[in-house]
Structure 1
Amino acid sequence: MTDHPIKSPRKLIEVALPLDAINEACAREKSIRHGHPSTLHLWWARRPLAAARAVIFAQLVNDPGYQQGGGFKYGKNKKEAAIERKRLFKIIEDLVLWENTTNEEVLERARAEIRRSWREVCELNKDHPQAAELFNPDKLPALHDPFAGGGAIPLEAQRLGLEAYASDLNPVAVLINKAMIEIPPKFAGRTPVSLLQSRQGAKKKELDLDREWPGATGLAEDVRYYGAWMREEAQKRIGHLYPLVEITAELAKERPDLKPLVGQKLTVIAWIWARTVKSPNPAFSHVDVPLASSFILSSKDGKVSYVQPMVAGESYRFTVKIGTPPPDAANGTKLAKANFGCLLSGAPINTKYIRAEACGGRMGSRLMAIAADGPKGRVYLPPTDAMENLARSANPEWKPDLRVTTPCHDIDRLPMYGMFTWGDAFTSRQLVTLTTFSDLLENTRERICKDAIEIGIAGDTDKGLDAGGAGPRAYAEAVTVYLAFALDKMADLGNSLVRWEPIAQCPRQMFGKQAIPMIWDFAEANSLGDSSGSWKIFIDGLSKALAKVFEQTQSWFSGCASQADAQTQTISSGKFISSDPPYYDNIGYADLSDFFYIWLRRSLRTVYPGLLATIAVPKVEELVAASHRHGGKEGAEGFFLNGMTLAMKSLSDQAHPEAPITIYYAFKQSETSADTGTVSPGWATFLGAVNEAGLQLTGTWPLRTENSSRMIGQGTNSLASSVVLVCRKRPADAPSISRREFIRELNGVLPEALDEMTKGSGDERSPVAPVDLSQAIIGPGMAVFSKYAAVLEADGSPMSVRTALQLINRFLAEDDFDSDTQFCLHWFEQHGWTESVFGEADVLARSKSTSVDAMKEAGVLQSGSGKVRLLKWAEYATDWDPRTDTRTPVWEALHQLIRALKQGGESASGALLAALGGKAEAVRQLAYRLYTLCERLGQAEDARAYNELITSWTGIESAAAAAPKPAEQNLPGFE
Structure 2
Amino acid sequence: MTEIKSPKKLIEVALPLDDINAAAAREKSIRHGHPSTLHLWWARRPLAAARAVLFAQLVNDPGYQRELGYGVNKQEAEKKREELFDIIRELVKWENTNNEAVLERARKAIWESWRETCHLNRNHPQAAELFDPEKLPAFHDPFAGGGAIPLEAQRLGMKAYASDLNPVAVMINKAMIEIPPKFAGRPPVGPLPADDPRQDDHMKDWSGARGLAEDVRRYGHWMRDEAFKRIGHLYPKVKITPEMVAERPDLKAYEGEELTVIAWIWARTVKSPNPAFSHVDVPLVRSFVLSSKKGKEAWVEPVIDADGYNFEVRLGKPPVGYTEGTVKRTGATCIISQTPMPFKYIRHEAKSGRMAAKLMAVIAEGTKGRVFISPSDQIGQIERIAAPDDVPETSLPDKALSFRVQEYGMLKHRDLFTPRQLVALTTFSDLVMEARERVIADAIAAGIADDGLGLDDGGSGPTAYGDAVSTYLALVLGRGADYWNSNATWEPSGGFVAHAFTRQAIPMIWDYAESSPFSNGSGNWEDTCLQWVVRVIQSFQSEIEGFSDQADAQNQGISHEKLISTDPPYYDNIGYADLSDFFYGWMRRTLKKIYSDLFATISVPKTDELIASPFRHGGAANAEEFFINGMSSALSNISNLGHPAFPVTIYYAFKQSETKEDKTVSPGWVSFLDAVVHSGFSIDGTWPIRTERGARSVGLGTNSLASSVVLVCRKRQSQARCISRRDLQRQLREEMPEALEDMIGGQTGQSPIAPVDLAQAAIGPGMAIYSKYEAVLNQDGSKMSVHDALVLINRAITEYLSPESGSFDADTQFCSGWFEQYGWSTGQYGTAETLAKAKGTSVDGVVEAGVLYATGGKVRLLRWNEFEEGWDPTTDARTPVWEACHHMIRRLNEEGESGAGELLAKMPDKGEPIRQLAYHLYTLCERKKWAEEARAYNELIASWPAIVEASHHIGHVNEQQGLGI
Is the structural similarity TM-score above 0.5? yes
Structure 2 residue aligned with 1:522:
512
**Which residue is equivalent to 1:370?**
362
Could you tell me which of 309, 314, 333 is aligned with 1:316? Answer: 309
2:133 is the alignment partner of 1:133 = no
Map residues 524-563 of structure 1 onto 2, 5 A cutoff: 524-550=514-540, 552-554=541-543, 557-563=544-550
Give the AA of the match of 1:227. Answer: G
> Which amino acid letter does the alignment assign opposite residue 572 of structure 2?
D
User: What are the Cα deviations for residues 19-53 of structure 1, in whole angstroms up to 9, with x where unaligned?
Assistant: 23322222221211111111111111111112222
Matched, 1:499 2:486: no
Residue number in structure 2 paired with 1:811: 796
How far is 1:559 from its partner?
Answer: 1.0
Specify the alignment match of 1:269 in structure 2: 262
Match of 2:586 in 1: 599
Question: Compared with structure 1, are the counterparts of its residues 474 and 928 closer, same or farther at alpha carbon in structure 2 (3 Å cutoff)?
Answer: same
- Match of 2:565, SS? strand
Q: 1:180 is matched with which residue: 160, 176, 182?
A: 176
TM-score normalised according to structure 1 size: 0.91
Answer yes or no: is 1:480 the counterpart of 2:466.
no
Structure 1 stretch 396-405 or stretch 538-547: which is displaced more? 538-547
CA distance in 1 between partners of 2:112 and 2:902 (Å): 47
User: Take 1:193 and 1:628, find their aligned partners in 2: how far apart are those partners?
Assistant: 50
Q: Distance in 2 between matches of 1:714 and 1:239?
A: 51
1:149 aligned residue (140, 145, 150): 145
Query: Following TM superposition, by how much is the alpha carbon of 1:669 offset from its aligned partner in structure 2, in angstroms?
Result: 3.1
Q: How far does residue 888 in structure 1 lie from its aligned partner after superposition? A: 5.2
Q: Is the 8 A contact 2:741 2:747 kept in 1?
A: no
The residue type paired with residue 275 of structure 2 is P
Q: Residue 703 of structure 1: which of 681, 689, 701 is its match?
A: 689
Cα offset for 1:860?
Answer: 5.2
Q: Write out aligned runs for 1:539-688 (5 A).
A: 539-550=529-540, 552-554=541-543, 557-674=544-661, 677-678=663-664, 680-688=666-674
TM-score (norm 2): 0.92
Match of 1:923 in 2: 914
Distance 1:119 1:955, change over 3 A: closer
Maintained 8 Å contact 2:185/2:206: yes
* 1:222 paired residue number: 215
Instruction: Find the counterpart in structure 2 of residue 232 from structure 1.
Output: 225
Match of residue 765, structure 2, among 780, 788, 808: 780
Question: What residue identity is the alignment partner of 1:606?
Answer: K
Counterpart in 1 of 2:339? 347
Q: 1:15 offset after TM fit, Å?
A: 2.4
Q: Secondary structure at the match of 1:45?
A: coil
User: How much identity, in percent, do the aligned residues show?
Assistant: 60
Which residue identity lines up with residue 632 of structure 2 in the other structure?
A: T
Q: Alignment partner of 1:410: what SS?
A: coil
Q: CA deviation at 1:142?
A: 0.9
Change (3 A) 1:966 1:92: closer
Q: How far 1:170 sits from its partner (Å)?
A: 0.8
Alpha-carbon deviations, 1:475-527, whole Å to 9, x = none? 11111111111111111111111121112110111111222333222111111
Say if 2:432 is the partner of 1:445. no
Superposed CA offset, 1:916-956 (max 9, x none): 65444333323322322333334444433433332233344
What does the per-residue CA deviation read over 1:829-871, in whole Å, with 9 as the maximum and x for residues that have no partner?
Answer: 4455555666655544443345556656766566677766656
Mapped pair 1:793 → 2:778:
yes
**Residue by residue, what CA displacement relative to the aligned partner does 1:320-359 show, whole Å, maximum 9, x if unpaired?**
222222245583234x424333212223322222222222
Question: Are 1:260 and 2:260 an aligned pair?
Answer: no
Q: 1:489 to 1:197 in 2, by over 3 A?
A: closer
CA contact (8 A) 1:459 1:469 kept: no
Q: Match for residue 51 of structure 2?
A: 53
Change (3 A) 1:766 1:374: same
Tell me, yes or no, if the aligned pair for 1:35 and 1:549 is still in contact at 8 Å: yes
Tell me, in whole angstroms, the C-alpha distance in 1 between the residues paired with 2:51 and 2:148: 9
Shift of residue 163, structure 1, vs aligned partner: 1.1
Distance change in 2, residues 1:130/1:484 (3 Å): same
Name the residue aligned to 1:732.
718
Structure 1 alignment gaps of length 5 or more:
200-205, 968-975
Residues 833 and 869 of structure 1 are in contact (CA less than 8 Å); yes or no, is this contact kept in structure 2?
yes
Aligned mates of 1:866, 1:636 — CA distance in 2: 58
* More displaced 10-residue stretch of structure 1: 30-39 or 683-692: 683-692
CA contact (8 A) 1:492 1:511 kept: yes
What is the CA deviation profile of residues 282-329 of structure 1, one whole-angstrom value per residue up to 9, with x for unaligned ones? 332322222222122112122122222222245222222222222455
Aligned pairs (5 A) from 1:99-498: 99-195=95-191, 211-313=204-306, 315-328=308-321, 331-334=324-327, 336-411=328-403, 413-461=404-452, 463-498=453-488
Separation in structure 2 between the aligned mates of residue 771 and residue 168 of structure 1, nearest angstrom: 33
Larger displacement relative to structure 2 (269-278 or 942-951): 942-951
RMSD of aligned Cα (Å): 3.0
Describe the superposition over 1:406-455 as per-residue Cα deviations: whole angstroms up to 9, x where unpaired: 422322x1112222221111111111111111121121112222222233
Specify the code of the residue in structure 2 equivalent to 1:130: Q
Worse overlay, 467-476 or 930-939: 930-939
- Say whether the 8 Å CA contact 1:778–1:809 is kept in structure 2: yes
Distance 1:311 1:863 in 2: 68
TM-fit CA distance, 1:658: 1.4
- The gaps in structure 2 that reach 5 residues or longer are 959-965
Give, in whole Å, the separation in 2 of the partners of 1:73 and 1:259: 86
Q: Give the superposition deviation at 1:827.
A: 4.2
Conserved 8 A contact 1:736-1:789: yes
SS in 1 for 2:207: coil
1:876-891, aligned counterparts within 5 Å?
A: 889-891=880-882
Distance 1:304 1:75 in 2: 72
Asked if 1:94 is matched to 2:90, the reply is yes
* Per-residue deviation, 1:375: 0.5
Question: How many angstroms does 1:244 deviate by?
Answer: 1.1
Name which of structure 1's ranges 291-300 and 945-954 shifts more when overlaid on structure 2. Answer: 945-954
2:66–2:72 contact (8 Å) kept in structure 1:
no
Give the SS at the match of 2:299: strand
Give yes or no for contact 1:668–1:718 (8 Å, CA) kept in 2: no
Contact 1:17-1:89 at 8 Å conserved across structures: yes
Change (3 A) 1:316 1:211: closer
CA distance, structure 1, for counterparts of residue 818 and residue 395 of structure 2: 55
Whether the 8 Å CA contact 1:44–1:514 is kept in 2: the answer is yes
Query: Counterpart of 1:6?
Result: 4
Q: Distance in 2 between matches of 1:51 and 1:270?
A: 38
Whole-angstrom CA distance in 1 between matches of 2:926 and 2:128: 54
Query: What amino acid is the match of 1:50?
Result: A
Mapped to 1, the partners of 2:692 and 2:717 lie a distance apart of: 35
Q: In structure 2, what is the Cα distance between the partners aligned to 1:115 and 1:86?
A: 18
Shift in Å, 1:773:
0.9
Tell me what 1:744 maps to.
Answer: 730
What's the CA shift for 1:465? 1.2
Rounded Cα–Cα distance in structure 2 between residues aligned with 1:945 and 1:353: 51
The one-letter amino acid paired with 1:742 is L
Cα distance, 1:958–1:502 mapped onto 2, change above 3 Å: farther
The structure-2 alpha-carbon separation of the partners of 1:129 and 1:544, relative to structure 1 and needing over 3 Å to count, comes to same
1-structure distance, mates of 2:714, 2:288: 58
What corresponds to 2:926 in structure 1? Answer: 935
CA distance in 2, matches of 1:349, 1:833: 49
Kept in 2, the 8 Å contact 1:145–1:166? The answer is: yes
